[in-house]
Each structure stands twice: as C-alpha cells, then as structure tokens.
Amino acid sequence: MTTLRTLRLGKAVALAAAIYGAQAMAQIQFQNNLMPQPVEMSIGSGGLYLDSTFAVEVKGVSDARLTDAIDRAVRRIEMATGLRHAGRGIAGTTRLVVKIDHPSAPVQSINEDESYSLNVTSSSAEIDATTELGAMHGLETLIQLVQPSGSGYVIPAVTIHDAPRFRWRGLMIDCGRHFEPVAVIKRNLDGMAAVKLNVFHWHLTEDQGFRMQSRIYPGLTAKGSDGLFYTQQDAKEIVAYARARGIRVVPEFEMPGHSTAWIVAYPELASGTTPAEIRREFGVSPYAIDPTRDTTYIFIDHFLTEMADIFPDAYVHIGGDETPAPDWKTNPRILAFMKAHNLKDNDALQAYFNTRILKILARLHKHMMGWDEVLTPGLPKDVVVQSWRGEASLFKGAKLGYEGILSAPYYLDGMQPAGMSYLADPLPSSSDLTPEERKLILGGEVCMWGEHVDARTIDSRIWPRTVAIAERFWSPENVRDVNDMYRRLIPTSIEIESLGLTHLESEDPGLRALAGTETIDDLRTFASVLEPVSFSERARTQHTDQFTALNSFVDAVRPDPPSRHWFESAVKRLLADPRGDITDRTELAAWFTRLSGAVPTARQQMLASPRLTEVTTRADQLLQLTVMGQQALRYLGNGQKAPANWKTKQIEMLDEIRKPSALVNFTFLPGMSELVKAVSE
Amino acid sequence: MTTLRTLRLGKAVALAAAIYGAQAMAQIQFQNNLMPQPVEMSIGSGGLYLDSTFAVEVKGVSDARLTDAIDRAVRRIEMATGLRHAGRGIAGTTRLVVKIDHPSAPVQSINEDESYSLNVTSSSAEIDATTELGAMHGLETLIQLVQPSGSGYVIPAVTIHDAPRFRWRGLMIDCGRHFEPVAVIKRNLDGMAAVKLNVFHWHLTEDQGFRMQSRIYPGLTAKGSDGLFYTQQDAKEIVAYARARGIRVVPEFEMPGHSTAWIVAYPELASGTTPAEIRREFGVSPYAIDPTRDTTYIFIDHFLTEMADIFPDAYVHIGGDETPAPDWKTNPRILAFMKAHNLKDNDALQAYFNTRILKILARLHKHMMGWDEVLTPGLPKDVVVQSWRGEASLFKGAKLGYEGILSAPYYLDGMQPAGMSYLADPLPSSSDLTPEERKLILGGEVCMWGEHVDARTIDSRIWPRTVAIAERFWSPENVRDVNDMYRRLIPTSIEIESLGLTHLESEDPGLRALAGTETIDDLRTFASVLEPVSFSERARTQHTDQFTALNSFVDAVRPDPPSRHWFESAVKRLLADPRGDITDRTELAAWFTRLSGAVPTARQQMLASPRLTEVTTRADQLLQLTVMGQQALRYLGNGQKAPANWKTKQIEMLDEIRKPSALVNFTFLPGMSELVKAVSE
C-alpha cells in the first residue's frame, strides 16, 4: 500500500522558496539540536528543502498507528514552519518515505526493536525501521532536524542509525496525592514521545487517594478519591493514547502499605484500626493491608483481574515500599499467623504477601514490579525491582539475579538541576557488574511525586529536566557534555511546549495572581534567579498536606531556570582569564544591572500583596548580591585588590543568603562564591 | 438543613492575622473592582476579615448545585488568599451565610429570577436570593470583593442589591470552522459565570464541520467532522457543567445554508450538486438543504428530536443566515415546487422552510431562534431573532413584534477594543421603541467566529473583552465610564485567568515558537504595542482556510492589549496641559525609550526566523514612531516649535504606518496623531 500526502507551502513562503532557490542550498549550517543524541550520525551537504512539492509516502507495510503518527508529525512540521498541508493525495516530488518491516505486536513488549535509520538527501528523507515503534522515533528525530535556512526551512542531509541504550525509559507520575486530569497526562505523554521515553508508570493509589475506578469495588473511589479519579474509559483512552505514541503504561497499585484509601473503603482489608477517611497528611502512614487473611487475596485477585482488562502491559507495579505496619507487631491474630507460618518479622510477612500477589499476577500473565523493599530473601526472580534507594541497591539486586531500573537520581521533587541528574548513569561502565548482571539493568525512570504539584505546576517540575534524563536513558554513555546538553535543552523545551506542555508558561499566571497585576516584567526578572527548595526542605519548613493551596511564590518559580547554567558558565569562562576577553564581564555586569533594576518595582508589589510579602527578604538579598557581583567584576577586571575584609564580609553575606527563606533559593550562589573567592585581597 | 464548612488559615497567615489584629481593621480602603457593576451598592466601614474562624452556612433550602457552587467559590477564595480549607464541619464564628427561597427549576428558564442581595459586615457575609442562580451571582460578587488589607485579606463591608438589566446575556462560540476541545469550552464557561453571563450559544455545525454526534445519522460526523466532534456524552457533560454555573446552553444547527457538512454526509438533503467533502474555504457557500422534499423534514425532525434529549434548553437556534442557494434558482424540480406553492423567490422558499422547522420545534416544545435573515414576512411571532446586522435590524424586528438579541457590535473577530463594544448598548434609552417593544429586546450575545482561532488562541480573542460586554448586558445603562471599565478589567482579567483561561499566557508560547528561543523579553515588549487586524482585513490580505496553520505573529498577539488604553489616556491627560504636571510626559518618554530599546534584539530574532521575518517592517516602523514620539514630547514640553514641515512628514509617516503589514496594527496610532497634531510649527 502506498499512501501519499502532500505539504503545500503558504503563499508567501512558497514565493520566497522560489526566489531563494539554489543560493540558499549552500548556506545550510547543520545545527545539532537533537535530543536525545542518536548513536550514529554522519552529516552530508545540502539538505531537503521543505517546499510545495513535499509529500509523504509509506512504503510496504502500513497500518493506522503508523499513518496517524505520520499525520501528527506532518502537522507539527506545518506548525513549526508555516507549511501548509493539503491533506490529500496530490503527488509531490520531494518525499518523506517511511518503511517498516512489520507491524508491532498488539501489546508493546519491553523487547520490541526500537531502532531506526534516517537518511536525508536533497530529494528525500527516508525512515527505515523494524516496526512502527522505530519509525515513530525516527519521525521525532526528523522533526528536531528541521531548521531555518534563508527564508525557508530545511532538513539537513544526514544519515542516522539509532537505537536506545536502555529498553526501559520511564516517567512515573504520582496521581494519588494530587489528582492530575486526563489532559495533563496526555500532554505529558506527548512530551515523553518527543524525547523517546517509552514507559509511563502511572502511580494510581496512595494514602491520599485511590484514582482508578473499579466496577467490582466501587467503594475504592467512592470513599477513597474525593470524586477525583479516572474512569475505566479514561484509563483506556490514556492507554490507547500512549500506545499511539510508542509508550507502555505500567499501572501501580500500592500494597500492602500506602494503602489508606483501600482500607477506608473496605475496612475488611485492614490490619488493625481503620482510618476514618483518606489521609490528608503526607509521609509514611501506619495503615497496611492485612496479609494474613485469605479474603485479602480474593479481593486483590478480583481487583487485579479487573485491571488486567484495562492495562494490557505485561508489568504491574505493586509498590511495596514504606510499610512500617505497626499493627503487624501488635495484632494478636497477625502475630499468631506469623508464628504459624514461621514468619519472623514484618519483612518476612511482607515477603509472604508479595509471593501470594505474585501468584495472582502470574495467573494473569503479568510480571510483578515493586520498589526496593520488595527485595527480600526468597523473592522469586521474576520480579523487577525499582530502586529509589540508589545504585548500590540496584546493583545488589542485579547480583542476586533480579532485573531492575534506577530512579534514585531522577527524583524531580529533589529540585536538582538537569545537569546533575543528567550525569547520573544507571549503568556506568565503571560498575563491577558482570556482563550477565549488566543485562539485568533494564533502564531507569524519572519520578514525579505528587505532594507539591497540581495540574498548574506539574509540567514545570517535570520539564524540561526530564528531557536531559531521557537522553541519559537513550544515548550512548559517553554523551555527557553538560554544556552542550543545556544548549540543546532550549530548543527541545520549546518544541515540547508546542505540544501543549505548560512548563514555560505556568510561571506568569502564578506571578500575576500573586501580584494582582498584569505588570510583572520586574517580578518575572526577579523570579528568573530563584528556584523552589527541595521537597524535603519544603516539607520540613512549611507544613503542607493535601489541602495546602499550591499558589505561593515557590509554586510559580521553576526548578533549574536558564539563569543557573548561564551564570555558572559565564563565571567559569571569566575566571579562566579574568582580564582577557571582556564579553562575559560585560554581560555579567549588564545582567546584575538588570536584576537590581527590577527589584524596586517587584519589592513594591510584594509589599502590596500579602501572599508575596514573604519574598521581600529575597528581594533585599538580590540587591546585596548584585552589589557584590558588580564589585567582584570590577576588582577582577582591574586586577585590583579588594579592601581588607571585603571577602570575609561577602562570604558571611552569602552564608546568610543561603539560609532558608520563602521556600526559594537563588540559582547563582555557587558561581557567586567562585567570583568572590577569585578576588584578591 | 444547615451545612457548615470551615476555612482554616495557613500557619504563616494565621500568625500574621493574630498580629495585625485591630489596627488593620481601620485601614480598609474599599477598592471597587466589581465587574459587572451591581445595580445598588452602599459601602459600610470595616469588613469581614478572612481568618481561621471563617465558616460557611447554608440556611434553609439547600441542594447539591448550591453546595457545589459554594465549594467552588470557597476553593477560589482559598487560592486567592492562601487561606486553608479544612473541608469539614469545624464550626467557625465568622460566617458566609447563603440563603435561597427555593431551588431552581430543573431547566433554567429565561425568566428565572437572578437577583440577589449581599450584605457584608465585620462578622458575616450574607447572600440572599430567590434561587441558587441568584446565589451563584452573589458568590461571584463576593469573590471579586476580596481584597488585601495589611498582611491579610478582607471582604469590605457592603450592602448590595443586584439584578441583571437583560435576561439574555450570551457568548456564542463557533466550533464548526475550527473544533474546540471540551476543556476549552469548560474554561470559557467558567469565565462566563465569573462575569454573570448566562447563555452559552453553541454553534455546532458549519460548512467546515459537523461537530455534534448523532446516533441516528452517524454519517454527519463520520463524513462531516474530520473526526473532530463532541460525543453525546461530551455534550451532556458540557450542559451539566454549564447548568452547575447558572448557564443555559442553546445549540445551533445551521440550516438551510452553511450546511455543506450535512449534505456531504447525506446527499439526499442537497438542493442540487453534492459537495465532495466538507468545505475548507471560508465564506458563504452555494450549498443548501433542499426545502422542497418531505424527506428533508423527516430527517430534520428525527435529528432535532434526538438533540432535544441532549439539550434541555427551551431554545434551539437554526442559523438561517447567508443562504444564496443558487440551486433554488435553477433546479427545475425546486422551481416547480415554488410555483406550485406560490413562493416567489428564495426568501419566500426559506420562509416556507422555517415555518416547517418551526412546527417540528413546536412539537418538541422548543422556541426557534435564527439570525436576521429568518425575519421574513409571515414568520410566526414565536421566533427569536439574533441580529448580526445591527440595531436597526433588531429594532425593526421588535416593531414587528419579534423578540430579539443584539450581536452586531459584539463580534470579537472585528478585533475592536473593549471600550468600543462596551459603549454599544442593546437598548439605549434614546431608542424610539415603545415600552412594549422594549420588552422584546431580550439582551445580547458576544460572538466568537471560528475562522481564525484554535484552541491555543481562542481565549485571547474572547477575553478580557467579553468581560466589558458582560457588564453592558448586566449593569444599568448609565454605567459607561470607559476609563473605570479599563481599570477594573485588569483585576477581572487576572481573576478569570485563575480559572484556567489562557488569554494572558498564550502570547508567550507563540512568540517562543516563532523565535525559537526562550529569550523573548524584547519581542514581548515589541508585541505589546501590536494587535491583530480585523477578520475581514485578514481574510482579504491572507488567503486562509481551514488548513491554514494559525501560528503566525498575528495569532500570538492579542486584541486591545493594555498599551492601547494606557497610551490614549496618558496622551489625553498630557494634551490637556502639555507643560503642566510632568508625570505623563516622563512616563510616555520612558515608554518610548523602552520600546525603542527592545527593537534591536527583536529585529535580530525576526531575521533569524523565517516565520517572523514578515514583522521586520513593523519593527522598523516602531523605531520611527518612538523617535516621532520623543520629538513630539520634547516640543510640547518645551513649548518649542517644530521645524518647518516636521508635522507634514510625521503625518505622512503615520499614513504609511497605517498601511497593512504582517496582519498586525499598532495600538497607539490615534494617540500618536493627537500628539503630533498638538505640536506647533
């Protein structure tokens, strides 16, 4: 079957294309913005100009999933370039050719071949892949290749052979603590597909909410969700949406801990006392499902059987973490059971529970996954361990023969910069695992826990940092240039914004609401150098629970904004030769001036709005920092010495500024320290 | 039944509240930000401080619709103030008391009493209304009253008696030409409720798309929608969502013209030739449903009967506009029918058609609505005429005894400033209608036609301009102070942004995508003085159709941005006394400086991005304008004469700048003309 589609240029662009013609051909300068970077790429000369003769051809095998993916890709190229798609079969001469060997299996397996080749010449772009999964990755690469050239757009001539380093490249979203609407999930799936992530790990139950409808046990959402849950129809829609984008959906149903919502609805599952309602507080809860009753397993069996119908993926995540279960140490019935079954402690009882759940899942042809804690002696080998504790724990599992994925360095709520997660490798070549053990490391997952995010802020916590981690999961280990990563992060961030993600736009509405005005230029400038504190610092400093309105300044600002890496790099270059090239010095000085110029108005707005007042200290500190910065630049530029005690005073000031205030930190303190230290006294 | 809910303050605010205590009480300065303005308001002293004892009480009649509305209102107050809502019945002392006489009828009628009283004292806020409809309006007023005071928030002491001037206060959204997802409709319903609009007129069918699922005639969407349509479930959800917010939903099914989508699916409805597919071009189409066959009426009868089940409202809009229907003048069968029935022309045939549709609707207990064109001799009196042609047409209808609503001055795609639509009164006291005829003017509707909007841009076209028009429909005729309207528009705009509307945030993603960078400060400054040309100018200048990507600079900028009214007002004040108070002169000069400072970087970005290049001329012109402005300010400030010919040159320049370019216009040209003209030569 051959499908033809045609792109037609808008009138203005088409004319321009006719005019620039051949001259422009010579001007192409390949800009490598690809993210993740492909395994192999060679760059040719010239490229494929997107003009009115552009058409799409599917060679050989075709199915609706592939043609839909191509349609979406073409629509995105249109939006990015102003090209005009006529939507039907006007034969063109310039072609995008997509060729796959055979269709994907109905359920995407972890072993499906994801590789593709992409060959762009001046007359065509050809994608070859085993299945549509590889073809979809190739289309994403193609979109990222499109670049301006003269007055039009071109896909530079390249030959790419690409395949992922890890089979499991996931993003987990916790919808238990705060519910996330279907639209939020969908736009995040779009973002995932754009950077070739292939597993959406859907954390669906928590002490704070049971988010998945069960028809057999309607109480789970009736009593456990505040009315905020996914219907089975919603879930099926999301599974289909994900599949259309080459993404598997692994549902997580937390048991036996983090299970307040189950127990509120069905007290017969309780190990002891029954909570009166779902938990509003965060943190580890004392409630746990009773592992000693047969009725518990009948319940879970029915429930998982029902879920198997909605979630076709071969894996089911049972959580299994953080189960102190004090009832297991005090409930006489449970203690008697443990004694009778020779289960010496809580861990042994949980292992017993896991083994029984594993049997249920085996009957359903599902693999079981759990967090580190499931890894207890006697755990059958057919369980995948997700490590939130770190590499040591992951590698220990591998040495014991368990498959595993790494999550510890990819916790987004830690608010660490992209560059840091980026360098955390799930399987460094330096590790002491044997080749066989190495095979057990399936990949990694980014984790977005839900305590401090809602539909308005979640995208800015996930993106663009997850783009960097997605590259870690896909690209070869030696792709580790942090500067180049940050350079490519900007266009990729804008690309995924065009898919509907709100990570770049959510700050402004937050600031407007806080200030009660549309005039937020200065407040925005102020916010550009601040970022949220980590989850743990916020949890320690502010008492938050499920009812806390996430509408403070900390919720508006985003983690790792561009100021962080920009400043760090500029300072590094400057300090390498402080009296050399003045570009960085000039730019840094102008930056400080701009920041200090923004403070007066921003500060006025803070004083006028009770919800902003807490940030006033940070505004005052910003003024101090800009004075400090300008002085340091002057001393360094003149090669002049600072007055006695200047450095001591600045360092004291920095120490003061590092102290917690308003739940936000300045992004550029490390560079400031360097700058101050470099001054001679 | 008494329902109690409690607001608890977050810790920080609670402490602050304890500290500021009595002093702050004295500081309340009532800031009248209400929009629409109430009929009657008296301002007391002091107010109701929102603190940890705040609780909600529903007195007397209560139902789920009312308590849901209260819950939403409380959640919004929480978000606006940082208050913390515990969600259950901890009795408070400070109270919001809501009292209604009886529940609303199951289907909201045009005659339902919408009045309410709101009485705020230092100990309570009490809303009294006949039904929950009035109570909901009162809650919206209450939310708008909340203002900062000291380190907390207060609702100032007021007594308000309020009721709408017009019964029909609508917003029409055309989902035919471009489909709008359910989420877009819902957030617009939220915006409507916030400003007390009460009719969502849902334009569901067009030549370019049939957006409503029919189970009886599945072809309508299968062949007529590109897969973009509302399922019956979607529509029911939207109707319920609207009802929960006091909004009626009036569906529109265009007939006999604007009906390509019907005919594509069911060619037996055609008056002559059958189109091969839905229309991609905009404008008036030649296709029309055949009014001469009985089968046509059987089809429409079945269809409308099916729809009656989904749309409970008493009104159905049948469109009826723009039906040139050339087939009716040439098809021998139709000509014979006209002769046999003594129908002398197309108008008479359409009147015949309308009469037969009216019978169907009467059987379904529905009133018929149509655009001006339905008003033909012999039209039964029980038809509401919606006037897109203007007041003359509306009043003519009233004089003939027809009820009507006004839309002509409220066409958002005309891109006229809010202040202009604001002053257009549907029923000025100066009109020559009799009191009886005046009663026939039900109100007005804002119209958002769909040619040039998609889900990303539509909010910025609708809001905040619709806020101003909503006030026209609600408030007394003498509320006409444009300056005050613009002042109140800003907080109201931010209020509705917090409901999820994207009118303020959609510009930035557009600019980032166009420039391919996150660094858009200067581009944003440049864009702040430009606005889209009118629909008709765009249609004339650019060939657009349904496939045109709405991703140009014109799509990013918004109509009537704040720069327009700000500049106009500042110039007006300045010219009243050019050498007096220097505030405006200084601010205008600073503004010009800021604008010219933004041009170099913005211009560089335009040259680097093919999709932005078209705007370069506007950038050059902006530099000219700032030079012109600075010169004019200098001459005026010094009382100095300009060199000979200076004015002539400036006026020529302004004429040049007024010419079409890049589909955007400068917002401040009228004021510039004034400024230039005021200079002596």
**E strand map for A388-431:** 403-406
Q: For B642, which DSSP code? A: P
Can you give the pLDDT at residue A320? 93
Residue of B nearest to A183 (CA): B183
Helices A346-363 and A332-340 sit at what angle, rounded to 10 degrees?
70
Residue B496 and residue B191 in contact, taking contact as beta carbons nearer than 8 Å: yes
Cβ–Cβ below 8 Å for A611 and B83: no
What mean pLDDT is reported for chain B?
93
Question: In this complex, do A505 and B505 lie within 8 Å of one another by their Cβ atoms?
Answer: yes
Query: B24 pLDDT exceeds 60?
Result: no
What does the pLDDT read at residue B51? 79
Distance in Å, alpha carbon of A587 to nearest chain B alpha carbon: 15
Q: How many CB atoms lie within 10 A of CB B460?
A: 25
Residue of B nearest to A562 (CA): B518
Tell me the chain B residues in contact with residue A521 when contact means C-beta distances shorter than 8 Å: 521
Mutation site for B-interface testing, chosen from A518, A553, A593 by largest number of B Cβ within 10 Å: A518
Amino acid in position B363: R
Q: What's the pLDDT score for residue B60?
A: 83
The dihedrals phi and psi of B118, each to the nearest 5 degrees, come to -135, 125
pLDDT at B479 over 50: yes
* B contacts of A498 (beta carbons < 8 Å): 509, 513
Chain B partners of A504 at a C-beta cutoff of 8 Å? 508-509, 512, 518
- Beta strands A199-203 and A168-174 are parallel
Q: Is B506 helix (H, G, I), strand (E, B) or coil?
A: coil
Q: Which of B494, B508, B517 sits opposite A518 (nearest CB)?
A: B494
pLDDT at A505: 96
> Cα distance from B593 to chain A (closest Cα, Å)?
15
The angle at the Cα of A458, spanning A452 to A459, to the nearest 5 degrees, equals 155
Q: Between chains, do A152 and B79 touch, taking CB under 8 Å as contact?
A: no
Three-state DSSP class for B250? strand
Q: Contact, B297 vs B256, CB < 8 A?
A: no
Q: Which amino acid is at A468?
A: A
Write down the pLDDT at residue B26.
Answer: 45
Dihedral angle, C-alpha A239, A245, A247, A252, nearest 10 °: -30
Average pLDDT, integer, range B90-107: 84
**Range B162-184 average pLDDT:** 98
Q: Is residue A144 within 8 Å of A34, Cβ to Cβ?
A: yes
DSSP reduced 3-state for A301: helix
The Cα of A13 is separated from the nearest Cα of chain B by a number of Å equal to 8
Chain A residues within 8 A of B512 when measuring between CB atoms:
494, 497, 504
**Spatial distance between the Cα atoms of B18 and B170, rounded to a whole number of angstroms:** 45
How close does chain A come to B298, measured CA to CA in Å?
A: 34
Confidence category of residue B389, pLDDT binned at 50, 70, 90 = very high
pLDDT for A50 equals 87
Hunting for tokens 């319920």 — which residue is that? B240
Residues in chain B with CB shorter than 8 Å from the CB of A10 are 548-549
What's the rounded Cα separation, in Å, for the pair A501 and A460?
A: 9
Contact B547 A86 (CB under 8 A): yes
Q: How far is B202 from chain A (nearest CA, A)?
A: 22
| A405 Cβ contact list (under 8 Å, min separation 6) | A168, A170, A384, A385, A386, A387, A394, A426, A441, A442, A443, A444, A445
Q: What's the average model confidence in pLDDT over B359-375?
A: 95
Catalytic residue among A322, A497, A537, A614: A322
Q: B82–A552: do the CB atoms touch at under 8 Å?
A: yes
Amino acid at A81: T
B619's tokens? 């950038």
- Which value does ipTM take for this structure? 0.92
Cβ–Cβ < 8 Å for A507, A475: no
Indicate the angle between helix axes A646-658 and A669-678, nearest 10 degrees: 170
- What's the angle, vertex CA A260, arms to CA A258 and CA A265, rounded to 5? 140
Q: Strands A530-532 and B168-174, how do they pair? A: unpaired
Q: Say whether B504 and A508 touch across the interface (CB within 8 A).
A: yes
Q: Sort out which chain B residues have CB atoms less than 8 A from A180's CB and list them.
A: none
Residue-wise pLDDT tens digits, A289-316: 999 999 999 999 999 999 999 999 999 9
**To the nearest whole angstrom, how far is the Cα of A129 from the nearest Cα of chain B?**
29
| Interface with B, mutate which of A277, A494, A541, A544 (most B CBs under 10 A) | A494
Give the chain B residue whose CA is nearest to the CA of A144: B516
Residue ranges of chain A with pLDDT lower than 70? Answer: 1-27, 84-94
CB-CB under 8 Å, A79 with B13: no
Chosen for mutation from B496, B522, B551 (greatest number of chain A CBs closer than 10 Å) is B551
DSSP letter string over A356-389? HHHHHHHHTT-EEEEEGGG--TT--SSEEEEESS
Give the pairing type, strands A248-252 and A94-100.
Answer: unpaired
Look at residue B298 and give its three-state secondary structure: helix
CB contact under 8 A, B85 and A547: yes
The residue of chain B with its CA nearest to that of A154 is B610
State yes or no: is A477 an active-site residue. no
Q: Which residues of B touch A507 (CB under 8 A)?
A: none
Range of weakest confidence among A218-227, B81-90, B187-196, B239-248: B81-90
Residue B531 to residue B553: CA distance in whole angstroms: 10
For B487, the closest chain A residue by CA position comes to A517
Q: pLDDT by residue (tens digit) across A466-515?
A: 999 999 999 999 999 999 999 999 999 999 999 999 999 999 999 999 99
Q: Which residues of A touch B509 (CB under 8 A)?
A: 497-498, 504-505
Distance from CA of B551 to the nearest CA of A (A): 6
Higher pLDDT, A354 or B92: A354
Give the best residue of B489, B538, B613, B616 to mutate against chain A (max A CB count within 10 A): B613
Q: Which residue of A has its CA nearest to B605?
A: A148
Enter the tokens of residue A634. Answer: 């002057």
Of A358-367, B68-77, B89-98, B162-171, the poorest mean pLDDT is in: B89-98
- B10: which chain A residues are within 8 Å (Cβ-Cβ)? 548-549
Among the partner-chain residues A85, A150, A498, the one whose CB lies closest to the CB of B513 is A498
What DSSP string runs through A234-266?
HHHHHHHHHHHTT-EEEEE---SSS-HHHHHH-
pLDDT for the residue numbered B57 = 86
In chain B, whose CA is at the least distance from the CA of A561? Answer: B518
Among chain A residues, the shortest Cα distance to B80 is held by A513
Is residue A203 classed as helix, strand or coil in its secondary structure? Answer: strand
CB–CB of A513 and B505 under 8 A? no
- Model pTM score: 0.93
Task: Give me the percent of chain B exceeding a pLDDT of 70.
Answer: 94
* B124 contacts B95 by C-beta, under 8 angstroms: yes
Q: What is the pLDDT of residue A93?
A: 67
The residues of B annotated as belonging to the active site are: 322
Alpha-carbon gap: A235 to the closest alpha carbon of chain B (Å): 17
Residue B547's pLDDT band, with cuts at 50, 70 and 90, is confident
CB contact under 8 A, B610 and A82: yes
Percent pLDDT > 90 in chain B is 85
Residue B513 and residue A490: Cβ atoms within 8 Å?
Answer: no
Instruction: Report the alpha-carbon distance of residue A252 to residue A346 in Å, rounded.
Output: 22
Q: How far from chain centre, in Å, is Cα A540?
A: 24
Contact between A490 and B518 using a beta-carbon 8 Å cutoff:
yes
> What is the reported pLDDT for A78?
86
A:B CB pairs within 8 Å: 119
